[in-house]
Amino acid sequence: MARPSIVPIALTLDDRTGYTLWAPPWEEDGEEWQAFLGSTVDPGPDDDPEARPTAVVHLFPSPAALAAFCRTSTDHDLADHPVWPVVSTLGAADLTPDEEHRYDLDGVYDIVAENPDRWAVEELAAVLDVVGRLAECCDAAMEEDEDDDDAETGFEAVADLASRPEAAALGLGIDAFVGRDGEQSWSRLGTAIDELWEDVLEDLDDHLDWSGAGAVSVDDYPSAAEEAESRTAQPADLDDLDDEDADDDLDDVTPAARPAAGSTAAAPAQAATAGIRTIRSGSGLTASPAAVAAAQEFWEAVGILPVELVTPTVSGVTLRCYVEDRARFLGRDGQVFVFPSPVDLARFCAGDERHDLTDIASWPEVADTDVMPLPADEDRYDLTELTEVLAEVASGAGGLVTHAVLVQPAEGALDLAEYAALPRVQQLLGAGSPLGRAVARGDSEPTAPLSAEETPALASAWDDVVADVSTALVPRSDVLR
Residue type, 445: E
C-beta separation of 404 from 447 below 8 A? yes
Encoded amino acid at 356, one letter: D
pLDDT at 32: 79
In this prediction, residue 74 carries a pLDDT of 83
27 secondary structure, DSSP code = E
The H or E element that residue 44 is part of is none
Please give the pLDDT value at position 44.
59
3-class SS of residue 178: coil
**Nearest CA-CA partner of 156 in 130, 127, 135, 125:** 135
CA separation for the pair 196, 217 (Å, rounded): 28
Secondary-structure breakdown of the chain: helix, strand, coil percentages, each rounded to the nearest 5 = 45, 15, 35
Beta strands at 38-41 and 54-58: parallel, antiparallel or unpaired: antiparallel
Helices and strands (H and E) in the chain: how many: 17, 15
Residues 316 and 343: their CA atoms lie apart, in Å, by 11
Separation CA 468–CA 460 (nearest Å) = 13
Strand order in the sheet with 16-28: 102-104, 7-13, 16-28, 31-36, 267-268
Give the tens place of pLDDT for each residue, 19-33. Answer: 999 998 877 777 778
Whole-number pLDDT of residue 260? 34
DSSP type of residue 397 = I
Write out the DSSP string of 312-379: SS-EEEEEEEEETTEEEESEETTEEEEBSSHHHHHHHHTS----TTTTSTTHHHHHH--S--PPPGGG
Closest CA to 294 of 279, 275, 278, 266: 275
Distances in Å between the alpha carbon of 182 and those of 173, 179, 187? Answer: 11, 5, 9
> Which residues, 6+ apart, have CB-to-CB distance to 56 below 8 Å?
38, 39, 40, 41, 138, 206, 207, 208, 209, 259, 263, 264
Sheet holding 315-323, edge to edge: 326-329, 315-323, 305-310, 380-382
CA distances, 177 to each of 158, 183, 422 (Å):
22, 6, 41
- Sort 148 into a burial class: Cβ within 10 Å, 0-12 / 13-18 / 19+: exposed
Stated as kind and residue range, the H or E segment containing 37 is none
Which is it for strands 31-36 and 16-28: parallel, antiparallel or unpaired?
antiparallel
Amino acid found at 73: S
Give the pLDDT confidence of 358-386 residue by residue, as tens digits. 999 999 999 999 899 999 989 999 999 89
What pLDDT tens digit does each residue of the chain (481 aa) get? 456 788 999 999 999 999 999 998 877 777 778 899 998 877 655 555 566 778 899 999 999 889 888 888 888 989 888 888 888 888 888 899 988 899 999 999 999 998 888 888 999 999 999 999 999 888 765 555 554 444 455 788 999 998 888 888 898 888 889 888 889 999 999 999 999 999 999 999 889 999 988 888 888 898 877 777 766 554 444 344 444 443 443 333 333 233 333 345 445 444 332 222 223 334 556 677 777 888 899 999 999 999 999 999 999 999 999 999 899 999 999 999 999 989 899 999 999 999 999 999 999 999 999 899 999 989 999 999 899 888 888 876 656 688 999 999 999 999 999 999 999 999 999 988 999 999 999 989 888 888 888 899 999 999 999 999 999 999 997 544 4
